[in-house]
Amino acid sequence: MPFSEAWPANHCARRSNNNVSLTLQQHHMSESLYSTESPFNVSAFTEEPMSVETHQPKKKRIRRVKQELDYLRRESKKLEDELAQLHTIQANRPAGAISFRPRVTQTERVTTSREYCAIAPRLRQKPSMWQAIAERQSRERGRVLARNMELRAQLETEYKLGKQLIQLLDRQIYAKALIQEKRHGLLWGHADVFKQQLQQSENTLLEVKRVLQGPPFRDPTACFLDTFIEKNGDKEVFVVQSNATLPFGMQATASALWKVLSTDQIKNYCYHHQIAQKSDTIVAQSFGIRFKENTVDADFRGKYTFSRFTDGDCIVIVWVGACEPIELNGIKCRDIQSQTTGWVQISEQRSEEMKGTLVRSYSRLSVDSGDDEKPQSGALLGLAQFFHDKFMATHYSVLEKSLIEEDWKMNSGWGGSQSG
C-alpha cells in the first residue's frame, strides 16, 4: 500500500487507541475520587505509564486495575477507622493531661510484584517513653498527696489524744493524792477541810496576845527574823518569828501584805491548783506542786486558808495549811502530814523613837508521821529551813513593790515619796 494511502488509516487507528486510553484514565480517576478520603493517588502506584496500544485493553489489565481499586478502598477504610479512634481518645483524655507528640516509625513495607503496584509504607504510632514516665509520676504524685493528707489527719488525732492523756494523768495523780489524804485522815473533802482551817484561824487569834507577851517581842523597836527548831513534847517544831517597823501607813502595809500572801500566782508553778473560796477577808486554795532544785526533789499536795481579821486597833492575817509529801528525793512517802499555823499582826508604832507601822509575825510547822516514817519526817523537817529561805528570797522584792504601790494609792501619789 502506498504510504499516502496507509497514513490516513493508521492515523484513524491511533486516534481510536488514544480515545480508549483516555477513557481508561478517566475511569481510574473516577474510581479514585469515589474513595473520597483516601490519601493515595492511583497514578502514583503504577509501575509504568499507560502505553498507547493499537487495540482495546486486555481483560487481564482491567482485572488488575479493579484489584488495585479494591485494595485502596480497604486501606482508606482502615485509615478512617484509625482516625475515628484517635478522635475518641482525644475526647476522653482528662483535662490538664500532658499531651505528647508520639513518634511514628515505618513498620510495614509492601513488596511489589508484576500484578500489584508499589504502595507507600504505612505509618504506625509508637508509644513515647516520656509519656509512660509522666503517667507514672502523676500516679505517684497523687498517691503521695493522699498519703500526706492521711498522715496529717493522723498526727492531728494523735496530738489531741496526747493532750487528753496528759489531762487524764494529772487527774489520776490528784485522785491518788486525795485517796491517800482520806486514808491518812488529813483531808476528808474540800468543804470539811476549809471549814476546819477557818475555825483554826479564829482560834489562833487567842494565841496572838500570849505569844506577843514572850521575851522576843517585849521590845517593839527591835528588828529581827529568827528561825529555829523547838521541842514540843516528843515532837519537833520549826518556828519562824520576826519583828520590824516599816515606814508606811498601817492600811497600806496591811493591804500590801494581804495582796502578797493571798495571791494565786502559785498556780504558775503547780500542776494542780484550785480556788475553793475567795473574798476580801478569806482565800482558800488547794494545790499540787513539784519542787526540784539542786539536790531537792519533792512532790507536795496540800490545802491552805488565809483569813484577815480586825482585832481592836490592829489588823491580823492568819494562815492555816495542811500539806502531805507524796515523794521526797525519789522515795515514796506514806503516813506523813505537816501542819502549818501562822499569823502577822499589823499595828501603829507607838514608840517615840520610831514612826511607822509595827509588823510582827509568828509561825509553826510540825510534822506528824507513823513510827516507820520517822527518818522521812526528820528529812522533811530539815528541809523546812531551805523552803523558808526560798520563799523569803522570792517574796521580798514582790512585797517591797506592793508596799510602794499601796502607799502611793493611800496618799494619792504623794505619800510614797514623803514616807520613803
List the chain domain ranges.
3-126, 128-184, 189-419
CA distances from 160 to 153, 157, 164, 172 (A): 11, 5, 6, 18
- SS3 of residue 148 by DSSP: helix
Q: What are the CB-based long-range contacts (under 8 Å, 24+) for 33-39?
A: 35/69, 35/72, 35/73, 35/76, 37/76, 37/79, 37/80, 38/72, 38/73, 38/75, 38/76, 38/79, 39/76, 39/79
Q: pTM value?
A: 0.53
**Span 189-419 CATH architecture:** 2-Layer Sandwich (3.30)
Residue 353, phi then psi, degrees to nearest 5:
-75, -30
- Digit-by-digit pLDDT tens for the chain (420 residues) are 444 444 444 444 444 445 545 455 554 555 444 444 444 444 444 444 454 455 676 788 888 889 999 999 999 999 999 999 888 888 877 665 555 455 544 444 545 555 555 556 665 666 677 888 888 999 999 999 999 999 999 999 999 888 888 877 776 666 666 555 554 444 445 667 777 888 788 888 888 888 988 888 988 888 999 998 888 777 888 999 999 999 888 999 999 999 988 888 888 888 888 888 888 888 888 888 888 877 788 888 888 889 999 888 899 999 998 888 888 887 787 778 888 899 999 998 877 777 789 999 999 998 887 666 666 667 777 778 888 888 787 777 888 888 888 888 888 654 444 443
